[in-house]
Chain A
Amino acid sequence: MKRVFLIGNPNVGKSALFSRLTGIDVICSNYPGTTVEYCKGYIKAGDEKIEVIDVPGTYSLYATSKAEEVAVKMLEEGADIVINIVDSTNLERNLNLTLQLLKKNIPVIVALNFWDETKHKGISIDVKELEKLLGVPVVATCARTGEGIKELIDRLKEARSKTYEFVEEEKWKEIGKIINRVQKLSHKHHTFLDQLSEISIRPLTGILFALIVLYITFKIVRFIAEGLILLIEPIFNEYYVPFISNIVEKTIPIKFLQDLLLGTTHKVMESFGLLTTGLYIPFVAVLPYILSFYIVLGFLEDIGYLPRVGVLLDVFLHRIGVHGYTSIPILLGFGCKVPGMLATRILETEREKMIATALILMMSPCMPQTAMIISLVSPYGIRYLFLIFSILFFIAIINGFILHKILKGETPELFVEIPPYRLPYIPTLIKKLWIRLKAFLQEAVPMIIFGVFIAGVLDIFGITNFIAKIFGKPLIWLFGLPKEIVPVMILGFLRKDVSIALLTPFNLNIKQILIASVFMVLYLPCIATFFTLLKEMGPKRTAKIIFLMLFTAIFVSALLNLVL
């Protein structure tokens, strides 16, 4: 089977084009470095089945970074055709990679993507002329609408290699010659988005702008999530619970199974039945927050705001050993730590990855955890929520600072392209939201239900009390928490949202809730995070990070118990 590689600079819409070609949904955003893994898909060209591979973006084939090295290696090992995706609003810079590709012995076809944007940017490109000069097919495309995709597939067979001869030292002169022949610029006034772009990266206005964005984000996330909960919760409590209780009690006469399915009490958050609490946690308490968070995040990603946050925070993050772009993995971590950790691949050095990982694990409790903390804490007032997040923030910063001092090496400087603001395209947003919700429904929900099941089994067989008796003492003494919480903490390794939800029946006071929440966020990664950590960092560094987390959790919780 033939293998086609999609290669281009970062943020030229490779993933969007990949989705268009193969029909496979992958996450696309408006910032460099969204794709950190290779995605495979298939297309049919005539009768032939062709494999398509989406490669993370690269500026050149010199292999100046690890991502580029991998791209070059893969290319040389197994590409039959390269689709070189070019940002047509940045033709000159993008042609650099194109010319390098044309030197290789692999047939190339060029896709001029973002074709729709050239018009309002006052750029006109003579596609026919470019094709003649380069000697390979050039197709104008717009991945968003699908324009040009069919032509691209039809013309794959026309791809050619080694059609352009030039001396390496003269490459920019060559590119200049091509540009003069094919591209005409007409002056266009700054659009509103251009102006907004400059406002949001200038220091003073930028910080103000960021604060406003943060405030609005927070407001919208809460507004949507709480609105949904207000809508779903009554339906769940008043219709679903009586309905399912009725059925179970009538059809299953065995008391033990009834307890397991419905729980032992009638309060939904305290019963820990598989069909009551087991569904309440994922669908009523967590899903609304996941949904609202990813709606807002998707919007910010696609408009292109995130790299600007990176620029604004660079000075600050440099003090703890990472550059500003680390703020993107951290932000993703607020949704779920797994994609957050995968995103650290955009960082250059191992040292940075280590610090970034520690920051993600400590600073950003994932959305399911946050949702449960909110539901537990908000009856006491929003200021406690704020307090928990501030504590986590400071702990992460202090840890980052210490790691920065301990680990040898330098912090690389920020070097990043800032994408233009683009109006988000609603179908793309919905698709991305669906990919993320699907991941939650398929991977997290079964784990949550399983966690509730384990909790129920432990409780019914009295194992909970047994563990509590053995390990309870230090808990009372160190953290001021009741000893019955021990099994809950052990379950946190499975799913943290479940373990925080499990705190409800204990009627803790607010101080205990604060300590327990902070402890649960910090002490261990959940099982999904753990395996990602292992894959990304290897066993040695995983062990180090987990030790650091455990130590921090115990130290901070004990300290909080003393001072609060």
Chain B
Amino acid sequence: MKTKTDVTQLNEGQKAKVVEIHGGCGLIKKLDTLGIRPGVEIKKIGSQILKGPQILKIANTYVAIGFGMAKKIIVEKI
């Protein structure tokens, strides 16, 4: 079985598949609007120092997400 982790743990340039989102309805809907939902492939572009925003690429979109929010996105490395 592949190991699950969250977005903040990914390395720069690593691709992963979203498995689930640990959060309430609001967060799930919010992430959904930018195309982040279970089953979707994402690529981590980078993260800012001191628990700063995480930058992800989903399809053609670059998104910056706060650290706390990114922690709730559970992924599987590809």
Contacts and interface: CB of A to CB of B under 8 A. Distances in A.
Q: Do A and B bind each other?
A: yes
Interface of A: 59-60, 62, 64, 89-90, 92-93, 96, 121, 123, 172, 197-198, 201-203, 206, 307, 310-312, 314-315, 323-324, 412-420
A412 B27 CA distance: 12
A92 B35 contact: yes
13 contacts: A60-B32, A64-B30, A93-B33, A172-B39, A201-B45, A201-B64, A311-B53, A311-B55, A315-B51, A315-B53, A413-B67, A414-B64, A415-B64
Interface in B29-59: 29-30, 32-35, 37, 39, 45-53, 55, 58-59
A416 B12 contact: no
B19 interface: no
Contacts of A96: 32-33, 35
A312 B12 CA distance: 16
Contact of A93 (B30, B48, B51, B59): B59
B33 A64 contact: yes
Contacts of A307: 64
Contacts of A417: 34, 61-64
B29 A90 contact: no
Contacts of A201: 45-46, 55, 62, 64
Nearest to A323: B66
Nearest to A312: B48
Contacts of B58: 93
Nearest to A314: B53
Contacts of B39: 172
A315 B64 contact: no
Nearest to A307: B64
Q: In terms of DSSP, what is the predominant structure of the interface of chain B? A: mixed
A407 to B, nearest CB: 19
Interface string B1-38: 00000000000100000000000001001101111010
Nearest to A92: B59
Nearest to B37: A172
A415 B45 contact: no
A89 B65 CA distance: 21
B34 A413 contact: no
Contacts of A198: 45-46
Contacts of A323: 66
A197 B62 contact: yes
B33 A315 contact: no
A532 to B, nearest CB: 29
A305 B32 CA distance: 25
Contacts of A62: 29, 33
Nearest to B62: A418
Given A202-B46, A417-B61, 15 more contacts: A60-B32, A60-B33, A64-B26, A92-B35, A93-B35, A96-B35, A198-B45, A203-B52, A310-B64, A311-B48, A311-B53, A413-B65, A413-B67, A415-B34, A415-B63
A197 B55 CA distance: 12
Contacts of B35: 92-93, 96
A310 to B, nearest CB: 8
Nearest to B55: A201
A415 B66 contact: yes
B62 A202 contact: no
A349 to B, nearest CB: 13
Nearest to A416: B64
Contact of A413 (B37, B46, B62, B68): B68
Given A60-B29, A315-B49, A418 B60 contact: no
A413 B32 CA distance: 16
A544 B54 CA distance: 36
Nearest to A419: B62
A59 B63 CA distance: 13
Contact of B48 (A90, A123, A315, A412): A315
A366 to B, nearest CB: 28
The 7 closest A-B pairs by CB, nearest first: A413-B66, A59-B33, A315-B52, A418-B62, A93-B35, A202-B46, A311-B64
A420 B62 contact: yes
B35 to A, nearest CB: 4
A96 B29 CA distance: 12
